[in-house]
Structure 1
Amino acid sequence: MTTPAPKNLLLGIGHRHHGDDALGPVFARAFRHPDWLSRDAGTMPENFAGLVRRIQPHTLLLLDAADMHLPPGALRRLEPSAIQSGDFGTHAGSIGQLARYLADCAQEIIILGIQPATTAPGNRLSPPVRATLKNLGQLLHANAPWPPWLSLKSEENTP
């Protein structure tokens, strides 16, 4: 008997050696759940388009550091159509383009941005970003629907 394929795909995006920009890859490498396939997409998430097309996940979750001019650790759900190159950080243009390109491959595409404290080379994840990642992991493990604070229409997107 074979194990069923995970229903969802998480791509952690970012530069592994640039402080909080590493949050996507760090989370992707650590997160394990039977309903999720989790991959470190580094700084080239477009290289995973073939995987997305092949597995056709129910939910495609793209996680990255996003400079939104908010307090460090703030988490926001970002609308793919609203992301333009350079609006939210070094990978944002490719994330929005990737989400639009893969729109027909997943029932739901969720882009989550977390405000970094620093993206300077050599730094580790900041305490506020670590806390946000811990909360995100608990949310995904609970298999709960997205809470109101992650709604695209919510003004206050904090737990």
Structure 2
Amino acid sequence: MSGVVFTVGNALMGDDGAGPLLAERLESEPALDWEAIDGGSAPENVVHAVRRAAPDRVVLVDAADMGLAPGEIRIIDETLVAAQFLITTHAIPLDVLVASLRETIPEVIFVGIQPARVAFWETMTPPVRAAVDDLHRRFVDGRGLAGIAAVA
């Protein structure tokens, strides 16, 4: 096992469903050396499955308001997750989740997708859907996060 793509989000809240959609894509067309685990809107309920997989690295993917154009993808330093980019649709703060994962996993990377619309019963916007498709293709093609910028 090389890595886990651990997704977070609520598929009933428009662009917040980016994470679950990525997990769905990776389950239907898997990426070599990556396992997808969908944490949904309560990732703390499945963090045990991530730990059980004993990965070398975890890529945590969620919608994140970074003040960018919808669909932009960025790597976010864990120190910035709670302070600036948390979309509060989850039961526990994501920085707490990242810290918990770091206790047993050597590398945890947070990847944010800029949403346009996060509200109940909304559909996912085309730019966010395209970003999910791009991330899926990157993992399947073996590129992973290569070339994705960090939040500046």
TM-score computed with the length of structure 2 as normaliser? 0.86
Measured against aligned partners, the alpha-carbon deviations of 1:98-139 in whole angstroms (never above 9, x if no partner) come to 111111322311111111110122122111111111111111
Decide whether the 8 Å contact of 2:9 with 2:19 is kept in 1: yes
> Could you tell me how far 1:20 is from its partner in structure 2?
0.4
> Could you tell me how far 1:49 is from its partner in structure 2?
2.2
Residue in structure 2 matched with residue 89 of structure 1 by the alignment: 87
2:52 to 54, 72, 95: 54
Distance 2:37 2:145 in 1: 21
In structure 2, the gaps of 5 or more residues are none
Decide whether the 8 Å contact of 1:66 with 1:92 is kept in 2: no
Measured against aligned partners, the alpha-carbon deviations of 1:58-90 in whole angstroms (never above 9, x if no partner) come to 121111111111110011111112222674311
Decide whether the 8 Å contact of 1:10 with 1:38 is kept in 2: yes
The question of 1:68 aligning with 2:66 is answered: yes
Residue in structure 2 matched with residue 135 of structure 1 by the alignment: 134
Aligned length: 148
Distance 1:92 1:83 in 2: 15
Residue in structure 2 matched with residue 3 of structure 1 by the alignment: none
> Could you tell me how far 1:93 is from its partner in structure 2?
6.0
1:22-37 counterparts in 2 under 5 A?
A: 22-31=17-26, 32-37=30-35
Identity of aligned residues (%): 32
Residue in structure 1 matched with residue 114 of structure 2 by the alignment: 115
Q: Which moved more, 1:83-92 or 1:66-75?
A: 83-92
1:78 to 76, 81, 89: 76
In structure 1, the gaps of 5 or more residues are 1-5
Structure number with bigger Rg: 1
Q: Which moved more, 1:139-148 or 1:122-131?
A: 139-148
Distance 1:92 1:65 in 2: 15
Give the aligned CA root-mean-square deviation in angstroms: 2.1
Distance 1:94 1:88 in 2: 7
Distance 2:55 2:78 in 1: 17
TM-score computed with the length of structure 1 as normaliser? 0.82
Distance 1:17 1:82 in 2: 26
